[in-house]
Amino acid sequence: MTESEPSLSRRDFALCTGGLLGLLGAGGADVALSYRAHDPAALAAAAARVEFIPDQIGNWTANSTPPDGRMIPAPGIAGRIDRTYRNSVSGYEVSLTVLCGTSSLISNHPPDACIDDAGYELSSGPTVVAFNDGGDDQFTLNRALFRISGSSLSDAIRVFWGWSDNGVWTVPANPRLAFRGLPFLYKLYVTDRTPSHTDDIPQSESFLEDALPEIRRRLDQP
């Protein structure tokens, strides 16, 4: 990353996960409906797998960033990682958050719930983008661009997100219905900052192409 490009701040890094506590009440009904799928052992095992995601993925090296204290503890979140990855060749920098928790909670958390609270407004999207896993499967993620509301700052945050129970990421139209009854669910967020003069620097795309197959290998384990 060149010196003229804005770097990720802890505040920006936390934007996509900061609204979880405010959505817990909305998931109450789903908790009751999905109680039959309650499986603490399966949830604990799934949460442990989040920590298996490596700090080094190809040319990308991570630094862990502790989440904002206001976001922890969060009932229903059994596992999470928050990391900033930097590419040693391109200089690209992205933030990765992976959450694991009950499906009733994780399926209820769109990024605009916390982005809006932080003063950002949706500028474009979301649109569905596809990534190949190097084999026969395809991952799909939502992509959206957010800008600061009423600010003179023109840089923006791009957010990619999706859900999965096995590392194959999808973006169903109604996640609450699609994932109801699962004992656990993963949620992935990848964000980058884009400078004012362009919004097509493929920082997140480059990272996702390298990282998604590796993340799948770590999450799709017995």
Selection from 218, 83, 202 nearest residue 131 by Cα: 202
Encode pLDDT of 34-82 as tens digits. Answer: 555 678 999 999 999 999 999 999 999 998 665 544 334 456 689 999 9
What type of residue is 80? R
Structure tokens at 195: 């400078």
pLDDT (0 to 100) of residue 37: 63
- Give the count of beta carbons closer than 10 Å to the beta carbon of residue 75: 12
The pairing of strands 93-101 and 77-87 is antiparallel
Confidence of residue 172 (pLDDT cuts 50, 70, 90): very high
Tell me the pLDDT of the chain averaged across its residues: 78
Q: Is residue 17 within 8 Å of 97, Cβ to Cβ?
A: yes
Q: Is the pLDDT of residue 135 over 50?
A: yes
Encode pLDDT of 173-218 as tens digits. Answer: 999 999 999 999 999 999 998 765 555 678 999 999 999 999 999 9
Q: For 150, left (φ over 0), alpha (ψ -120 to 50), or beta?
A: left
pLDDT (0 to 100) of residue 4: 39
Q: Is residue 105 within 8 Å of 21, Cβ to Cβ?
A: no
User: Which are the contacts of 49, defined by CB distance < 8 A and separation ≥ 6?
Assistant: 79, 100, 218, 219, 221
Q: Is the pLDDT of residue 90 over 90?
A: yes
Selection from 51, 67, 63 nearest residue 88 by Cα: 63
The fraction of the chain above a pLDDT of 90, given in percent, is 50
Q: Which residues pair with 70 in a beta bridge?
A: none
Q: What is the DSSP string of 77-118?
A: EEEEEEEEEEETTT--EEEEEEEEE-HHHHTT--THHHHTTT
Q: Which residues of 141-157 are buried (b: 16+ CB within 10 A; e: fewer)?
A: bbbbbbbbeeeeeebbb
Domain boundaries, given as residue ranges, for the chain: 10-181+192-219
Average pLDDT over residues 136-160: 81
pLDDT (0 to 100) of residue 77: 87
Q: What is the pTM of this model?
A: 0.78
| Cα 113 to Cα 127: distance, rounded to the nearest angstrom | 17
Helix ranges restricted to H, the chain:
10-14, 28-33, 40-50, 103-106, 112-115, 175-178, 203-219
